Amino acid sequence: MTTDNEAETKPAKKKPGHWDNLVTIFRHFGVTVVLDIGAHKGEYGGYLRRAGWDGRIVSFEPQSAVRPTLETAASADGNWTVAPQMAIGDSDGEISFNISAETDMSSALPLADSAMAFTPTSAMVGHETVPVRRLATVFDEHVTAADTVFVKVDTQGFESAVMDGAAPVMDRIAGWQLEMSIEKIYDGEADWRVMLDRMDALGYAAHLFIPGYFSRHIARQLQIDGVFMRPATV
């Protein structure tokens, strides 16, 4: 029998966080491989592992400066690989990649002039020429016909181009996680409402929204991540 004092001191049950919810989605849909596009230093893969997901991860990252940290993180995990250096976009060739003082804000797109009002530390400080490939071009190098594929895209405004380059293999992708801007940060990026409509038109249903970058300078949420899955894969 539990006494009143015991009931008072019993720890509160921890509520699932968004990483737990994301892993729940992966397990529900039987995801076997995550293509981690815009991996930076491997933060996303690390969070998935700490949340208990042990499926295969393939990370893509174009920035030379952060790749050693990413490769170190992946090397300790037998089910996590890092693809050769490349950006993922809507063409095959080379691209001049804009390097930000905040490396997680680097992008194939230029920073919008207006963005300096709410993210002044993200100014571009240089450029790096890197290979760019369509996801469709490299898809079969990293997945098999038996895989259930989830694509995470954190490419700082270049998400729409990544999707354009995935068109030929779209029907093989069970789900997407897309970073979407509420306030314009990069010149040429698609509005978040446009991205929502695009996912709906492609037959993906929204399953989770995750708060992203919040600017204290203007007290506003600037970005969110949306997780979208094909209902037909249930």
Q: Residue written as tokens 């490939």? A: 133
Average pLDDT score over the chain: 90
- In whole angstroms, give the CA distance from residue 11 to residue 14: 9
pLDDT greater than 90 at residue 179: yes
pLDDT value of position 185: 86
pLDDT value of position 3: 43
Element (H, E) at 72: helix 67-75
* Percent of residues, the chain, with pLDDT higher than 90: 71
pLDDT value of position 119: 77
pLDDT tens per residue across span 93-132: 999 998 888 888 889 888 888 777 777 777 788 999 999 9
More confident residue, 9 or 95: 95
Summarize the confidence of residues 161-188 as an average pLDDT. Answer: 95
pLDDT value of position 172: 97
pLDDT value of position 15: 72
pLDDT value of position 10: 59
- In whole angstroms, give the CA distance from residue 51 to residue 174: 20
Domains and CATH numbers, the chain: 36-203+212-233 (3.40.50)
Of 85, 47, 54, 1, which Cα lies nearest the Cα of 177? 47
Summarize the confidence of residues 15-30 as an average pLDDT. Answer: 93
Of 23, 2, 35, which Cα lies nearest the Cα of 133? 35
The string of DSSP letters for 110-145 reads PBPGGGGGT-GGG-EEEEEEEEEEEHHHHHHHH--T
pLDDT value of position 234: 41
pLDDT band at 12 (very low <50, low <70, confident <90, very high): low
Contact 9, 32 (CB under 8 A): no
pLDDT tens per residue across span 47-95: 999 999 999 999 999 999 999 999 999 999 999 999 999 999 999 999 9
| Dihedral in degrees, nearest 10, Cα atoms 87, 189, 22, 84 | 0
Residue 147: CB atoms within 10 Å: 17
pLDDT value of position 232: 61
pLDDT value of position 6: 45
More confident residue, 226 or 10: 226
Contact 195, 180 (CB under 8 A): yes
